[in-house]
Amino acid sequence: MDTDGDPVAGVLEHAYRDEWSAVVATLARRLGDLQAAEDAAAEAFAAAARVWARDGTPPNPGGWLMTTAWRKAVDQLRGKRAIAVDPQQFPDTGAASASDAPPVTVGGDDQLGLVFACCHPALALEVRVALTLRFVAGLTTRQIAAAFVLPEATLAQRLVRAKRKISESGIRFEVPGPDALAGRLDGVHAVVYLVFNEGYAASGGEQLIHADLCEEAIWLGRLLHRLLPEDTETAGLVALMLLHHSRAAARQDPDGGAVLLADQDRARWDAALIADGTAILDAAVARRRPGPYQIEAAIAALHAAADSFEATDWPQIAALYGTLARLSPSPVVEVNRAVAVGMADGPHAGLAILEPVLASGALTGYAPLHAAHADLLERAGLAAEASAAWARAERAMGNAALQRELHRRRAATAGSELGSRRGEPAVVRYKNFPTGVETSGLGP
């Protein structure tokens, strides 16, 4: 991701992102207004760019930024009040008591409160994503717009409206009470995973992987995990993202083409990410509160642990998909289960699971369904049917890199009398598609 021109600003953007989010969080909670918090934080960072370049970085950058931002916020409030007709316009802002003393601590509660406000279910999903990337991850409007292939003005407008809705409709910068917490946390996870998925297999455009988006999502996940260390699904989500992302280098050939799981050079998988993800998952699983993200992470961990595609523990992966299907049933999970069962028990067993999904028509536009179908048909020796299914997959695929790979597969099937005679190992094409979030809704 480019760092927007000015090198000092670029350094600040990245090196002090923790502080950006913490400063915005604390100010937002005190002021009840994300716009005012953003303005004050931005002024503090601009001041830092000037002062630090001149005097060097202070010993406690976070404290410096917090103090400076708070002073800017107080100045701002004083200015507004001077022209306000009616002081009652500021009834609830704790800051209206405008003491000059800056908030002493930058608590994790503030940051969590900010996360829950940005991911509030009263905001549209694409709005939650934009808010979270801007205010929690500290990306610039330009960076977010570029990542989602949107005009910058569109994204800026979306953020302005969202900030206004938060302050005017009374969305609070608070951690929800125990009754609402689990449900709201699901919503936060969905936002983080959506960002990851958009990076993992961009829903449109030429590039297969937007690694920076994956890294932003992992950064967000780690932040949540640090703030909510007891929550096993948060840990499961972080583990899942790390394990998927460990394959990034092997998933793309030098020309930007997609390399599927079976064909990947496993030596190029990132062993450190795998170790990290597996450790986080093991610690979560030991707490014995299973959930969908932990199960998906366990599946990813089994792939990561296998020396080769053929040596993968398919029966256990099939069993885990069975558990996942019971816990959070969805047609997408069924597609993945069909693939795993097809590997464990043969293509006909996989096709039997796929039949009802195909018949229901629920996923007609979902390329991985047709790719899985095509692969199972091919392995069952039904070359003509397989070729037609590859064509359906190709038509449904929005990502150009994956589309090229599907085209290659279709040509390969058509060129052989029987797909299964090619002497190639039986392969699962879309095993490595993350499940759970099907569409991003973030297209232009």
Q: Which residues bind other proteins (CB under 8 A)?
A: 85-86, 88-89, 91-92, 120, 122, 168-172, 174, 176, 180
The token pair at 213 is 């988006």
Nearest CB to other proteins, comparing residues 32 and 434: 32
Nearest CB to other proteins, comparing residues 5 and 87: 87
Q: What is the smallest separation between the CB atom of 238 and other proteins, expressed in angstroms?
A: 27
Nearest CB to other proteins, comparing residues 174 and 313: 174
Q: Which amino acid is at 5?
A: G
Q: How far apart are CA 284 and CA 279, in angstroms?
A: 9
Q: How far apart are CA 163 and CA 166, in angstroms?
A: 5
The token pair at 418 is 């029987």
Q: How far apart are CA 187 and CA 109, in angstroms?
A: 18
Q: How far apart are CA 120 and CA 1, in angstroms?
A: 27
Q: What is the smallest separation between the CB atom of 121 and other proteins, expressed in angstroms?
A: 9
48, 68 Cβ separation under 8 angstroms: yes
CB atoms within 10 A of CB 170: 10
Q: What is the smallest separation between the CB atom of 129 and other proteins, expressed in angstroms?
A: 20
Nearest CB to other proteins, comparing residues 168 and 307: 168
CB atoms within 10 A of CB 177: 8
Helices (H) and strands (E) in the chain, counts: 19, 0
Q: What is the smallest separation between the CB atom of 120 and other proteins, expressed in angstroms?
A: 8
Nearest CB to other proteins, comparing residues 89 and 105: 89
Nearest CB to other proteins, comparing residues 166 and 406: 166
CB atoms within 10 A of CB 219: 18
Q: What is the smallest separation between the CB atom of 32 and other proteins, expressed in angstroms?
A: 10
Cα–Cα nearest to 90, from 101, 76, 107? 76
